[in-house]
Amino acid sequence: MAQGVPGISANRQKWQRSHANLKPGDIDLVVDEQLPRCQWPVGWVQHVFPSDDGLVRKITVVARGNTYDRPVHKVVPLLSTGDPVKEPKATFNDD
């Protein structure tokens, strides 16, 4: 059987990398299958619901003045509360 399909016994890459849990205050896009991606609302995480294994599986997110309960795979993280925010350097020429 080992000689059937090459690479079948190789390490699978799916779910091999861990990602940081979402935290209250994180900024994200809320996935909406009814809208094109350019119209997905930007929201912030209000509350997280960790599972028994400590991983966040569900969140409450506020977007466009509405509150939604969403699984974490239905949001796209943009900015974490732990990420440093850099101010853009403005250069103006007063000619």
Give the model confidence (pLDDT) of 19-29 as tens digits: 788 999 999 99
The reported pLDDT for the residue numbered 93 is 61
Checking 76-83 for CB contacts under 8 A at 24+ apart, the result is 76/28, 76/29, 76/31, 76/40, 77/22, 77/26, 77/27, 77/28, 78/27, 78/28, 78/29, 78/42, 79/26, 79/27, 80/20, 80/22, 80/23, 80/26, 81/23, 81/24, 81/25, 81/26, 82/20, 82/23
User: Does 10 have pLDDT greater than 80?
Assistant: no
For the chain, the domains span 30-79
The reported pLDDT for the residue numbered 5 is 59
Whether the model pTM is above 0.95:
no
User: Does 9 have pLDDT greater than 60?
Assistant: no
